[in-house]
Structure 1
Amino acid sequence: MLKRLLRRDLWTAGRVLAGLALLLLLLVLWRVSAVRGARETVVHSDFGAFWLQGYYFLTGRPLFDLPPHVRGPAYPPFAAMVFQLFALLPLPTSAAILYFVNLLLVPVAAYLTKGIVDKLHPERNRAAWPLVVAVILSLQFFLNNMNLIQLNEVILVLCLLGIKAYLDGNDGWAALAFVSAAAIKVVPAVFVGWLILRGRRRAALAVIPAAAACLALPVVFRGVDAGVRDLAQYQTKVLSQFERGHVISSSTNQNLGALVYRLTVPAPDDINRDYRPLFPTSERTAAAIYRTAFAVVLLAFVGNLVALRLRHAPLTAFELGSVFLAGHLLSGITWKAHLVTLLFTFYCFLSIRVRELGRRLRVFVYVLVAMMFVVGLTGRDLVGRVVQHRIDGYSVIVWTEILLFVGCLVFSQRVTREREVASGAVP
Structure 2
Amino acid sequence: MTNLSPPRTDRGRALLVLTLAAAVTAFTATVPLLRDFFDLRVYYGTVHTWVHHGGRIYDYHVPGTAYGFTYPPFAALAMLPLAGMGRHTAIAASLLVNLAALAVVLRILAGPGRQRHGWYRWSLALCGLALFEPLRDTFSFGQVNLVLLALVLGDSWLLATGRGRWAGAGIGLAAAVKLTPALFIGLLLLAGRRRSAGVATAVALAATGLAAWADPGASRFYWTEALWDTGRVGRLDYVSNQSLQGVLARLGEPGRALWAVAALLVLCVWAARTRRALTAGDRAAAFALTGATACLISPITWVHHLVWLLPSFAVLARAGHPRIAGALYAVLCTSVVWLWFDDASGIDGFLGSNIYTWITLGLLLGLPAGQSSAARPPLARSANDTAPAPSAARPATVAVRDQSESSSGAGEAAAATGTPADADFDRARSASREPTGSTRPAASKPQSSSSRASSYTVNPPPA
TM over 0.5: yes
Whether the 8 Å CA contact 2:154–2:170 is kept in 1: the answer is yes
Whether the 8 Å CA contact 2:72–2:177 is kept in 1: the answer is yes
Paired with 2:242 and 2:312, the residues of 1 have a C-alpha distance of: 16
Paired with 1:308 and 1:230, the residues of 2 have a C-alpha distance of: 41
Paired with 2:179 and 2:170, the residues of 1 have a C-alpha distance of: 13
Shift of residue 177, structure 1, vs aligned partner: 0.5
Whether the 8 Å CA contact 1:49–1:70 is kept in 2: the answer is no
Cα deviation code 1:404-423 (max 9, x no counterpart): 11123xx324448998xxxx
- 2:243 aligns with 255
Whether the 8 Å CA contact 2:75–2:176 is kept in 1: the answer is yes
Which stretch of the first structure deviates more once superposed, 340-349 or 175-184?
Answer: 340-349
Give the alignment partner of residue 296 of structure 1, picking from 242, 257, 265: 265
- Equivalent residues in 2 for 1:27-426 (5 A)? 45-59=38-52, 61-67=55-61, 69=65, 71-115=67-111, 136=128, 139-220=132-213, 222=214, 226-227=215-216, 229-241=217-229, 248-262=236-250, 264-265=251-252, 283=253, 289-306=258-275, 311=279, 313-354=280-321, 369-376=326-333, 378-379=334-335, 386=339, 394-408=353-367, 411-415=368-372
CA gap 1:166/1:62 in 2 versus in 1, 3 angstroms: same
Cα deviation code 1:218-266 (max 9, x no counterpart): 234x2xxx32x222211233211359xx97110011111112232x22x
Percent identical among aligned pairs is: 25
Q: Secondary structure at the match of 1:73?
A: coil
Larger helix fraction of residues:
1
Paired with 1:349 and 1:61, the residues of 2 have a C-alpha distance of: 48
Q: Secondary structure at the match of 1:114?
A: helix
Paired with 2:36 and 2:179, the residues of 1 have a C-alpha distance of: 25
Paired with 1:51 and 1:112, the residues of 2 have a C-alpha distance of: 30
Cα deviation code 1:244-293 (max 9, x no counterpart): xx97110011111112232x22xxxxxxxxxxxxxxxxx37x75543332
Amino acid at match of 2:56: P
Paired with 1:216 and 1:297, the residues of 2 have a C-alpha distance of: 31
CA gap 1:96/1:198 in 2 versus in 1, 3 angstroms: same
Whether the 8 Å CA contact 2:155–2:167 is kept in 1: the answer is yes
Amino acid at match of 1:64: Y
Cα deviation code 1:39-74 (max 9, x no counterpart): 968xxx211111123234435532212246263331
Amino acid at match of 1:332: P
Paired with 2:180 and 2:148, the residues of 1 have a C-alpha distance of: 10
Amino acid at match of 2:194: R
Whether the 8 Å CA contact 1:47–1:150 is kept in 2: the answer is yes
Paired with 1:393 and 1:308, the residues of 2 have a C-alpha distance of: 31
- 2:407 aligns with none
CA gap 1:346/1:132 in 2 versus in 1, 3 angstroms: farther
Paired with 2:123 and 2:258, the residues of 1 have a C-alpha distance of: 37
Amino acid at match of 1:241: D
Paired with 1:112 and 1:308, the residues of 2 have a C-alpha distance of: 19
Amino acid at match of 1:81: L
Paired with 2:195 and 2:91, the residues of 1 have a C-alpha distance of: 38
Paired with 2:244 and 2:127, the residues of 1 have a C-alpha distance of: 25
Whether the 8 Å CA contact 2:245–2:259 is kept in 1: the answer is yes
Shift of residue 101, structure 1, vs aligned partner: 2.8
CA gap 1:338/1:52 in 2 versus in 1, 3 angstroms: same
Paired with 1:40 and 1:91, the residues of 2 have a C-alpha distance of: 12
Q: Secondary structure at the match of 2:369?
A: helix
Aligned length: 330
Whether the 8 Å CA contact 2:48–2:83 is kept in 1: the answer is yes
Structure 2 unaligned spans of 5+: 1-24, 26-34, 377-463
Shift of residue 104, structure 1, vs aligned partner: 4.3
Whether the 8 Å CA contact 1:172–1:206 is kept in 2: the answer is no
CA gap 1:418/1:183 in 2 versus in 1, 3 angstroms: closer
Shift of residue 199, structure 1, vs aligned partner: 4.3
Amino acid at match of 1:54: V
Amino acid at match of 2:261: T
Q: Identify which of structures 1 and 2 has the higher relative contact order when contacts are C-alpha pairs closer than 8 Å and 6+ apart.
A: 2
